[in-house]
Amino acid sequence: MPMTSTYPDKHANGAHHQFGKDIDINNSKAKVTKHVHPKLSDLDRTSRAIVRWAIQDHCSKLATQNPFPNAVEEHMAANASLMRAEVALELKIETEGIYDIAIQLVEFIVG
């Protein structure tokens, strides 16, 4: 099925009219940006357990206490959720790099 834009030209299949030129969107050389986010599978088993717990805690705190936090509040809440998860599971994230990935995951998955 050919791709068409929101406003296709009546006479062209898979093309649209823009500023007096027909543009074939099927053969355009548009850049596609690939967003790279950390994945839960990038972590070891212990860190995954902590992050899963932190995600659940973070969701419940956002829903009950502050559903629309700003960026700083959300980061602080994610950090607090991660620390509560470590205490609850009696586990510890060992390195700062993994801890940073864990914070990004909690913020990305919940946010």
Tens of pLDDT, residues 72-107: 999 999 999 999 999 999 999 989 999 999 999 998
Nearest alpha carbon to residue 95 among 57, 43, 49? 43
Amino acid at 42: D
| Whether the Cβ atoms of residue 55 and residue 43 lie closer than 8 Å to each other | no
Nearest alpha carbon to residue 73 among 110, 20, 28? 110
What are the C-alpha distances in Å from 42 to residues 55, 75, 98? 16, 21, 9
Domain segments of the chain as ranges: 1-32, 40-110
pTM for the predicted model, two decimal places: 0.65
